[in-house]
Every structure is written in structure tokens, then in C-alpha cells.
Chain A
Amino acid sequence: MALTGLQIYKLLPRTNCKECGFPTCLAFAMKLAAKQAELAACPYVSEEAKAQLAAAAAPPIRLVTVEGPGHKVEVGNETVLFRHEKTFYHKPGIFVRVKDTMPLDEIKAAVKAAMDYSVEYVGMDLFLDGIAVEAASGDADAFAAAVQAVREVTDRPLILIAEDPAVMEAGVKAAEGTRPLLYAATPDNWEPMAALAKEAQVSLAVRSLDGLGNLAELAEQIKGKGVQDLVLDPGVRDPVSTLVTLTQLRRLALKKNFRPLGYPIITFPGEGAADPMEEAMLASQHIAKYGGFIVLDHLTPASAYALLVLRENIYTNPQEPIQVQPGIYEINEPKPDSPLMVTTNFSITYFSVANEVDGSGLPGWLLVADAEGMSVLTAWAAGKFDAERIAKSVKTTSIESKISHHKLIIPGHVAVLMGELEEELPGWEILVGPREAVDLPGYLKLWQPS
């Protein structure tokens, strides 16, 4: 069973040397107990204590890293079943699959398109994590050539897919200098696959099609050969078996601290789907429910955008609503007679509004009120975006000295605040803007300062 922070503390050097990155041994012990730190961070812990702590201190889901020269993906180390219990930490890696049976030019073009893809979302640039190369040919040279071709186009991490250890070996050689994930060890090939992974010091996926008991056995055997960084494929593909099995795996790790299956999971949504749209639906399930590496066969800009945004949403820390600083934001170099709009400091709300005004090319002042990080309607319902708060943000910022008019545009969703606001802000004219940010450019075109 897991040890408490105090039990762990007694086994530590208790010198408070801070080299682990925590201020005291007790603080480090508490993090170990919460499974948010690794014992290896302590350089002075005794071998004896290590042995005692190792079993209890390791995270219940092992952190697995795959890496290319230009990007690293870490998955695992999750501590909760539901994001509201704390947060999900390590976003699943989203990979795009190419096969070595495709002409090399086509492989390069597909990889380039996927890896060049980038989309902005609330001020962040989102992109796909890497490429899975499959040895569909069964031929070592063809596989090596495909891996080489992929590496010529991208420096992001790779997943190498091959059943035959000899073919895999050729792929591993071609991927030298990176840390790929090898997929997969099966009951038929696990010994040479484990030897390969150990030699190359890379992670290895384990696949068993007949139940978690056999999967656990295989994982234990491979671990016995000295390969620690494992990834699981329980062999399920349809939506309901995947949801059930991935939930069971997460529960086994977190509730039972069941080591033999305490690893991240790899999924292939395209193998359970009849078409790309269904593949995206399955992938969305794997993002929300416990996928670690998600390998896609079909990806368009639209589906990539939707899935990357979903991943951001699900992995947002619910304890820390994403907010922007309240205050005045100047868009497109506003003049004293430019319009003044007010919105809340929920980051999604802010970016929706700011992007629309920015995109319209029209200058404007955006007053961001402190609504405790809530969207307009939510904040209004919770009393965090009422006439008093809006009036306060007008008065406490220097906006009045920057503009030559007294007109304030409020979001259409809170049109009911108009009367109250006019009382709170004598001499101001309150204008009701559109309900949705998308309609702002049209609205602003009609702006008249006087």
C-alpha cells in the first residue's frame, strides 16, 4: 500500500538540502505521497530506503517519454479519474500514421503537411506531436527508408510500428539519435522486442488481445527483462469496449496501485471507425478518457483543430480558470473617439472579443472587467459581472481620460444591465452590443462617437 507523507519523510535524509527542488524533505515527502514527484530527485537517499520507498513512491501510472530532436512528449503520471478531482497533467500525444508501402515522396508530403500544421487558440499555438511509421511492407529496407524519409522532413518524435523484430531493428537503427516508442511486443515476439528496446533504451508498447490478465502477464515478463518504460494496447477498438477498458485500467492504477498495468495507453481510433468523422469522434473519447498516445490515420485541418482544442479544454486545470489581466486593452491603435467595449476576464471570452475587433481592422478600447475568470453569461448569473462591477472597472481604470466620449458598449447578453449601469455611471451612455463576438465587426462599422 502507498505510504503517507510522514512515513516517507522518516525514510528520507531529513537534511533539507533542497536539491530535489523542494524547500524541505517534508515537502518532498508530501509530493512523493501525492505521487507528483519521483524519488530519484533525491541524491542522498540510502539504498535501503530506496528499496522500501520504490514500490510505494513511484507514480501509479509510469511517465513515459518519446522524443525527437525538436519535440518531446511525456504521458502518464496521472493522479485522478476525473479532472474536477484535481487536474489531468500530461496531454495525450497525437500522432499521425504513415505506412512504408506509400511512395517516399507521398510519405514526405503527408508528414510535412501534418507537422507544418499549426493553429492559434486563445493565444497559444497548437500542433500535432509526431509521426507513427508502420512497416506495412514487412520489409526491413523499406521500413528503414520510410523512417529515414520521415526524419528528413520532421524532428518531432516517432512511433515505430512493426511486428517482425528484424524489421523493427532496421527501423530503430534508422531512428537512431531519437527516442521513439516501439509498437508492439506481443505474446509471439516479446523477447526480441524487449531486447531491442532495452538495447536502444527506448519505450515499448505491449499488445495483448485477450484480456487484461494476459496483458499484465506480458508486461511483467518484459519488465523482468529490464524494460521499464512500457505503453499498453489492450487491443480494444470499438467505442464502448475502449471506454470501459481504459476506465478499468485507470482505476486499477489509481485505486489499486496495480503495478503490472500502471502504464500509459496507446489507441488507434481509425481502426474502430468506419470513416474519418467517426475516427475523430473516437479520438475525442480517447482524449477525454484516458488515452496516452493517440495514433490517427486521417486528419484534416478541421479535425486537427477540433481535437487539439478539445485536448486543451480537457487538460485545463479546473483549479485555475484561464484568465487575462483585467484592465484596458488597446486594439488597432485606438484614438480618443474610438469605441469602448467591456467584457469579462475569462480568457476564452477575452480572445473571442479581441480577435474579432482585431480582425475587423477597426480601432477600439477593450475594457476587461474582473469577473473572476468567468464568461459573460456565467459571470452575470453568478453576480460577478453586474452594473456595480462594470462601473467599478470604468472608474478604477484611466479609461475616462483616454477617450473623448462617454459611451460604453456592453455585451448583448447582459442588455438588462443597461438601466442600472446608467445609474451607476452618471453622464455615460450605455450601448447594447451584439450577443456574440462574431457579430462585433458589423456592429463596430456603424460606430459614431457623437
Chain B
Amino acid sequence: MPVTVEIPVEKWMGKVLEVTLGATADEGGTRSHTVTVGGETTLPFLHFEGEIPNPPCIAIEIADRRPDDWSPLLVEAWGDVMDDPATWAKAAEEAGADLILLQLSLTKDGDTPTTAADARAAARAVLEATGLPILIFGPGQVDADNELLVAVAEEAAGERVVLGVCEEKNYRTIVAAALAHGHLVNARTAMDVNLAKQLNILISDMGLPLDRILMDPTTAGLGYGMEYGYSVMERLRIAALQGDKMTQLPMLVTPGYEAWRQKEAKVGEGVPESWGDWRERAILWETLTATALIESGADIVVMRHPEAVKRVKAFIERLMK
């Protein structure tokens, strides 16, 4: 006789908010379609006890100019398209991106600061090159972020672009720009549940509805503290499902940036022989960082290498079956 097994089913009370990126012509933008993330009523891929209405998405990171510090493997993979954000955006779309993340640089050439007009031009070019919803991140310095993001927010008015990165020291101007021009924001905190909640509260107190906020709890690459981010994401998602409103936002993390800044991915020379083949290791580093984070609750992963994107995309498809 088979033993009767009662599978424990969690009756979660909460639900992750659905957040829609991009706006079509009907909605005041020019995107060919929108992308919705979130909406989960259970932990990642436990389809038997809840709804997972939207699969996790992959944003491919491109930049307004050829980055100086990217690994030669990434340069080899993308080639000349890196010299032109519009061409790069098209290539990223062909590589399977669900979303395009445009990273603005601090300088045009390592010396001359990027101007508001430069940022507008890059944003405009990318919006024209692709129909995918886009995210635009500033260079990460308060003054430059404020200047450039305000300009691109206006340039992309109505497109429901995700503007980033909002941090506690620097969220007001970016949130105000999102409010004024119908955009969303990415709210980043340093691997801490309470800091994440606090920033979400500060942003929503400015009047931005919660369904226009993505939460970025920060991650780290495999081998470099990834487990901290992993566990903070699990805790945030459990809190959301238990009904804690200020954690019920879809999560965005950046495994591409985190994996590719580590030596394992970045360089091929002067490393131990036991690290194995460079290209294989680098792609695995990004791929495994991204999949671990997806399985701990990420709704959007920002990635860099087309082969890693292909791998993670196929894995997500299998996890959604």
C-alpha cells in the first residue's frame, strides 16, 4: 500500500505587485509591447501552491559608449556594435533580451563629462532602435545622475522607462523626474531587508505609486558574497508573501555586472590552472550567479554576455513549465 503523503502547502497571504515596463503607442509611448513582472503568490517556481503569472525577465546591459573596463570576452562577443548604442540595442534584442538597460557613462572619452544632450541623444537612439521597454541607469555619481537622468526622463516622456539607480542618498531628483514624465524607478539598497523597505517607503512617500518601483537589494558575484544577496532576496520574498506591503515589489539584480567584475570572468591570464578554460568559466560565472538569483526571487536579471543570456533564458523556460 502506498503511504499517504500530505504535501505541506503554504497558504501565503501576500502577493508581489505586478509592475509593467514600457508603454505602447496606445499608452502614450512608442514601445512595440510592454513587459510585466511580478504577481507571484508563492516562492520561485513552486507552481503547485500559487501563481507565477510572469516569468523572470532578462535585461541586457548596453552603454552609451564602448566601456573601458569590460572583459575582452565581452568585447569579443559584441564586437563593433559597442561603439553605437542604437546598433548595440538591436544586437541585444536579437540576442534574446526581454528588456534593454542603457548605462550612461560619466565621461565621453575618459575625460570630457557626458552632457545632458549626449544622454538625451543616446536614450533617443536606443528608443528608436528597439521596441523593447528600456531601463536607463546613470553613472552612479550624485550630480551626474541628477543632471543626466532628469534630461533622459524628459526625452523619454511617457515611455515608462525604469530610471536608476535610486539610493537613499540620491533618490529625490530621480523620483521627481519619474513622477513628472510617467516613468518607473529602480530602488537600490545594500543587502539589507530593512534598508530596502525604508527606501521603498521614502520613494512612495513622494507620491510614486508602488507599482512603479522595482526593488534592487544588490547582489554580489558567485564567490564574492553572492550568498548574502541570495538570502536577503529570499527573506524579502518571504516577507512579501507573508503580507508585508513594503516588500511586495518585483526585484531587479545585476548578476552581469557582478560576475564580470570578478577576476574569474574578467581575465584569462595569470590565474590558477585549476580555474579551467577562461571562456567557459566566465560564462558559467555569470550564468550560475543569475540562475541562483532567479531561484531566490529575482524578477529581472541584468546580464552581459549573449551566451549566458541564451543559457539563462532557456533555463527560465524550463522552470516555467
Contacts and interface: CB of A to CB of B under 8 A. Distances in A.
B285 interface: yes
Contacts of B280: 277, 300, 302-303
Interface string B262-288: 111011001011111100110111011
A309 B281 CA distance: 12
Nearest to A117: B274
Interface in A325-383: 346, 348, 352, 356, 359, 375, 377-378, 381-382
Interface in A241-270: 243-244, 247-248, 251-252, 255-256, 258, 260-261
B319 A310 contact: no
B288 A280 contact: yes
A313 B43 CA distance: 21
Contacts of B94: none
B276 A301 contact: yes
A69 interface: no
30 contacts: A82-B231, A84-B234, A213-B2, A238-B318, A238-B321, A239-B318, A239-B319, A240-B45, A243-B295, A247-B46, A277-B283, A280-B284, A280-B288, A281-B287, A284-B288, A285-B291, A300-B280, A301-B275, A301-B277, A306-B285, A310-B223, A314-B227, A314-B230, A318-B228, A356-B263, A375-B224, A378-B191, A436-B266, A437-B263, A438-B266
Contacts of A305: 264, 274-276, 281
B59 to A, nearest CB: 20
Interface stretch (B4-12, B104-112, B208-216): B4-12
9 smallest CB-CB distances across A and B, nearest first, come from A301-B276, A302-B276, A213-B2, A381-B190, A216-B3, A302-B281, A119-B274, A84-B231, A313-B227
A255 B227 CA distance: 24
B225 A82 contact: no
Interface residues of A, number: 65
Given A84-B234, A303-B284, A313-B227, A119 B272 contact: yes
Interface string A194-233: 0000000000000000011110110010000000000000
B311 interface: yes
B178 to A, nearest CB: 22
Residue with the greatest number of chain B CB neighbours at <10 A, chosen from A120, A252, A348, A438? A438
A256 B8 contact: yes
Nearest to A241: B321
Interface string B202-240: 000000000000000010101111111011001100100
A83 B231 contact: yes
A182 interface: no
Nearest to A127: B274
B295 A285 contact: yes
Interface of A: 82-84, 117-121, 211-214, 216-217, 220, 238-240, 243-244, 247-248, 251-252, 255-256, 258, 260-261, 277-278, 280-281, 284-285, 288-289, 300-307, 309-310, 312-314, 316, 318, 346, 348, 352, 356, 359, 375, 377-378, 381-382, 436-438
A359 B315 CA distance: 37
A240 B319 contact: yes
Contacts of B190: 377-378, 381-382
B77 interface: no
A47 to B, nearest CB: 28
Nearest to B296: A288
Interface residues of B, number: 63
Interface string B116-158: 0000000000000000000000000000000000000000000
Given A240-B321, A302-B281, A375-B224, A438 B263 contact: yes
B258 to A, nearest CB: 11
A310 B5 contact: no
A422 to B, nearest CB: 20
A248 B7 contact: yes
Given A240-B321, A244-B48, 13 more contacts: A118-B274, A121-B223, A211-B5, A217-B2, A243-B46, A243-B319, A256-B8, A277-B284, A302-B280, A307-B288, A309-B223, A313-B225, A438-B266
Main secondary structure of the interface of A (DSSP, over half): helix
Contacts of A248: 7-8
B292 A288 contact: yes
B320 A240 contact: yes
Contact of A239 (B3, B267, B274, B315): B315
A383 to B, nearest CB: 10
B281 A306 contact: yes
A76 B47 CA distance: 26
Interface string B50-81: 00000000000000000000000000000000
A84 B296 CA distance: 12
B172 interface: no
A390 B230 CA distance: 29
B261 interface: yes
B295 A289 contact: yes
A248 B6 CA distance: 10
A359 B266 CA distance: 16
A302 B47 CA distance: 33
Contacts of A261: 5
A78 to B, nearest CB: 16
Given A352-B263, A438-B266, A213 B3 contact: yes
Contacts of A288: 230, 292, 295-296
